[in-house]
Amino acid sequence: MMALWLRGLIRWRAWRLLATAAGVGLSVALIAAIGAFLTASKASMTSRAVATVAVDWQIEVQAGGDPGAALTAAQQTPGIATAVPVEFGRTTGFTATIAGSTQTTGPGVVLGIPKNYRSSFPGEVRQLTGQSEGVLLAQQTAANLHASPGDTISVGRPGLPPVQVRVDGVIDLPQADSLFQKVGAPPQSQPSAPPDNVLLLATDRFSQLMGPIANVDPQALTTQIHAKRNAILPPDPASAYTTVVGAAHNLEAASAGSAVVGNNLAAALDAARSDAAYAQILFLCLGLPGAVLAALLTAAVAGSGAVRRRREQALLRVRGFGIRRVVGLAALEAALVGVLGGVLGVVAAGIVGRAAFGSASFGGGTRATVIWFGIAFVVGLVIAGLTVLLPTVRDLRSSSVVAARRQVERVRSPLWMRLGLDLICLAVSLLVFRASSSNNYSLVLAPEGVPTISVSYWAFFGPALLWIGGALLLWRLTALALAHGRGVLTVLVRPMTGRLARTTAASMSRQRTPLVRSVVLLALAISFAASTATFNATYRQQAEVDALLSNGADVTVTESPGVIVGPAAGGALAAVPGVRRVEPLQHRLAYVGSDLQDFYGVRPGTIADATALQDAYFVGGTAHGLMAKLASQPDSILVSDETVKDFQLAPGDLIRLRLQDSRTKTFRTIPFHYAGIVKEFPTAPRDSFFVANADYVAKATGSDAIGAFLLDTGGKNQPAVAAAVRKQLGDSAKVTDLTQSRSQVGSSLTSVDLAGLTRFELAFAVLIAAGAGGLVLALGLAERRRTFAIAAVLGARRGQLRGLVLSEALAVTLGGVIGGAVVAWALGAMLIKVLTGVFDPPPSTAAVPWTYLAATLIVAVVAIAVGALASAQGSTRPAVEELRQL
């Protein structure tokens, strides 16, 4: 009997089985693809974090410790590939006499490095000019001294006479912040900036010149062991962080306190683990709704033949089949659908991975991919059981044979509608959203130095309940409109159905459940596609904004400290081919009380011409309004949020800052009036800083010296323009372009590669929208061929029957599109607000991908039209032939 039933299903219900299996396949493919993608993304985050670190561990030998013993202990530690000693010595300053002019710097640091240091740690030192060995001067120090290879400089030594050395080369230290950290000190006590003046010597030369300092000032010399690890780390950043921290603590314990580890690798993984937590959140927000929607589509496809299935089961029971045998036949159908859908989904996921990421494993490990594909396959079997087998069991238990043979059932409001579940979901959603979007709320909490991460998943109940509540409310409104709006329906469908208008309206009202189901599914599909696309577009927009904030403009020229360049130097930069405009930016340091903060002087009227200023960067006014205030009231100043809170400032308060006077070289007090809060500003740090009128600052300090020039290239040819500027300026200034900043910004969270993620997310959304609109409607209409045949026998013309079908299609289209647009608008806004931590900086407005949304709408409408026209064509077949088949 099983084989006979299976042959009958394949012969007479093949298309319906394929449609149901396709719905299961969508869920399987989505879960498998996103799960494998998430695993690969976490591994990518770990590898990128490791790649950004030049020196994994800086093991500092404590006072009284033996450097030789510390080096031996490091070399014998499992997982250490390279360990070399590096000497640090304080200098009282450098002096150089170049072309008759003597330049003197403040205190600095001299490093003693072994010959193999640069080959062992290639990312720590970057060669600029001259030789790569010998006496190497840092770029900033060379600019301060106006020195170049071949010049002789004097190195001051604490308690000893200065010594002279000949400069062999000029270098840059890309990771100076970590190189000169206070090893073992908490983050808040770390220096705000690395030393301005640095000199590198070979170890032997360092011992000769700086070694004698140990006799007069032992505290001026320090030894570190720089180590590179080669131990295999777990792919998950959080697990890798725990492993690296544990290994460092083990080494410190073995050294009995004589050595402390500066764990640069752990610091990089610490940031990556927060990003991994956000990646997991994106998986829930962008992936899970799609899988649920595909499952609902499967249930709708299977449910469209519910009446027919109940009649067949009733016939089997009349002919002597027991409930157990009927359930067995339904289980066979569910198994067929589940296995076929699972295979289709796994194959589709592999194709998606190869197309979007170059491999079926999505760039991750094969083992993890197989696990996720297996999980997705099992989920597909569960979905098939819930959508095919479970309704059969429910019907067998709750209905009689007579009830199952009934052609038209009484429509009764479901329990959730009578209980008002839709309104409850929406109310709870707003409460959760209000709590999770407060200013002090953090979605991901990863305390520095603590191995555990706290993710507040409950915040997603807001968007989830909004999606569910919106769908249920749309179901309620559509059902009410079809049930009590027969008069309006009659008027609307009359142009298509003529004298059958009243009958058509009555039919749509009486058998409204399939229509309501199609409307809600289409609305959910459109809302999913629109909200996902909006989130992705907004993310890409803010990633670009973040890169622009970090770099300042398309190309930025940062002057070295000690080099005095006025605004007029921008004229030469403006002459570089490809540069549209140049904006000078002052950068000073100012004291507010005893706190030293960055200070930026801008030209309010033109600053926005070279860089982007968004209203979201400011509090207390718009970007245009606050810049206008700086122009009209030159002593106005914009203050960072942190400073406003620390000093309890109110708008209009007088702020006395101390800035250095170029004429006396001393700090003098300059009055400002607090005009607003600045949260973000191009090239500025993320914590505390000021923004003021450059002309007012220049007049008060006697100097119009510029700290950076912002070059606008119109968003084109940034690397080429940057190369031309470097060639023109040489080593006197640092030149960066937006592409460099974009890659640095993309090294953390965007290693999730949202572009790849959303490519197949949005492709699935289009398929689901097409299936929800066209497939479900077509299958529902196919189940009512008997109704059309009877209407034809009673005298309905072909045009009227075609109009009846098209009327239902039009109702589904209008209801689904309007409802989906409303839900998408609310859901997109809520997602962006809840996931504020993903954006840096938060967006002032969402980016709406109109092209994609239009394409999705067109595909859905075309699918509905095709399904309706196919059903309309079937409705015009000879009634006798149709009734004979039914």
Mean pLDDT of the chain: 81
Give the Cα separation of 569 and 576 in Å (integer).
12
pLDDT digits (tens, 9 = 90+) for 235-247: 888 889 999 999 9
The residue written with tokens 């130097």 in the block is 569
Q: What does the pLDDT read at residue 189? A: 62
pLDDT band, residue 86 (cuts 50/70/90): very high
Mean pLDDT of 58-63: 91
H/E stretch holding 83 reads: strand 80-91
pLDDT for 106 equals 87
Q: What is the mean pLDDT of residues 305-333?
A: 68
pLDDT at 795: 62
C-alpha–C-alpha distance, residues 345 and 402, integer Å: 39
Chain-centre distance of CA 649, in angstroms?
Answer: 34
- Single-letter amino acid code for the residue at 370: V
Least confidently predicted of 175-184, 575-584, 794-803: 794-803
Averaged pLDDT, 511-530: 84
Residue 788 pLDDT: 63
Residue 243's closest CA among 215, 260, 265? 265
**823 CB-side CA count, 13 A:** 32
Nearest to 278 by CA among 161, 399, 476, 442: 442
Q: How far is it, in rounded angstroms, from Cα 653 to Cα 647?
A: 11
> What average pLDDT does this structure show over 756-779?
68
Residue 424: is its pLDDT beyond 50?
A: yes
Q: Which of 580-584, 587-591, 688-692, 833-837 is predicted least confidently?
A: 833-837
Residue tagged 């970590």 (tokens): 178
Mean pLDDT across the stretch 14-28?
78
Report residue 245 CA to chain centroid gap: 27
DSSP character for 409?
P
Length, in residues, of the chain: 886
Q: Mean pLDDT lowest for which of 89-93, 599-603, 780-784? A: 780-784
Q: Give the mean model confidence (pLDDT) for residues 546-568.
A: 83
- Token pair for residue 566? 């006025």
Q: Which of 12, 524, 21, 14 is nearest to 301 (CA)?
A: 21
Q: Would you call 650 exposed, middle or buried from its count of C-beta atoms within 10 A (0-12, 13-18, 19+)?
A: exposed
Token digits of residue 377: 């396959």
Q: Which of 272-276, 469-473, 510-514, 759-763 has the lowest mean pLDDT?
A: 759-763
DSSP alpha helix (H) spans, 485-511: 486-497, 501-510
DSSP-assigned beta bridge partners for residue 636: 673
Q: Residue 750: which pLDDT band, with cuts at 50, 70 and 90?
A: very low
d(CA 35, CA 373): 8
Residue listed under structure tokens 């996931």 = 835
- Give the integer Cα–Cα distance in Å for 718 and 710: 12
Q: Which pLDDT does position 767 carry in this prediction?
A: 76
- The yes-or-no verdict on residue 859 having pLDDT over 50 is yes
* 3-class DSSP assignment, residue 655: strand
- Residue-level pLDDT at 506: 82
Nearest to 61 by CA among 282, 216, 202, 218: 218
Q: Which two tokens stand for residue 446?
A: 């990863």
Q: Is the pLDDT of residue 216 over 50?
A: yes
Q: C-alpha dihedral over 178, 180, 183, 188, to 10 degrees?
A: -80
Residue 121, pLDDT > 90, answer: yes
Query: Does an H or E element contain 28, and which?
Result: helix 14-51
pLDDT at residue number 490: 87
User: What span, in angstroms and rounded, lies between the C-alpha atoms of 822 and 825?
Assistant: 5
pLDDT tens per residue, range 684-738: 887 789 999 999 999 999 999 998 999 999 888 888 999 999 888 876 788 888 8
Burial class from Cβ neighbours inside 10 Å (0-12, 13-18, 19+) for residue 417 reads middle
SS3 sequence, 351-404? HHHHHHHCCCCCCCCHHHHHHHHHHHHHHHHHHHHHHHHHHHHHHHHHCCHHHH
Structural Rg of the chain based on CA atoms: 35
Closest CA to 50 of 194, 228, 178, 185: 228
Distance (Å, rounded) from C-alpha 250 to C-alpha 266? 14
User: Which residues fall within 8 angstroms of residue 475, CB to CB, at 6 or more apart?
Assistant: 417, 422, 516, 519, 520
- Distance, CA of 84 to CA of 74 (rounded, Å): 9
391-414: average pLDDT: 60
- Residue 777, pLDDT score: 65
Query: Averaged over 49-75, what is the pLDDT?
Result: 89
Question: Could you tell me if 397 and 417 are in contact, meaning their C-beta atoms sit under 8 angstroms apart?
Answer: no
The answer to whether 731 and 128 are in contact (CB under 8 A) is yes
Sequential DSSP letters for 235-248: SSHHHHHHHHHHHH
The tokens for 247 are 């290994």
Whole-number pLDDT of residue 94: 94
Percent of the chain with pLDDT over 70: 80
Q: Which residues are 592's β-sheet partners? A: 595
Q: pLDDT for 609-658, tens place per residue?
A: 888 888 888 888 888 999 999 999 999 999 988 888 888 888 889 999 99
**pLDDT level of residue 880 (50, 70, 90 thresholds):** very low
Residue 44, pLDDT score: 79
Q: Round to whole Å and give the CA distance between 338 and 383.
A: 7
pLDDT, tens only, 149-182: 999 999 999 999 999 999 999 988 888 888 998 8
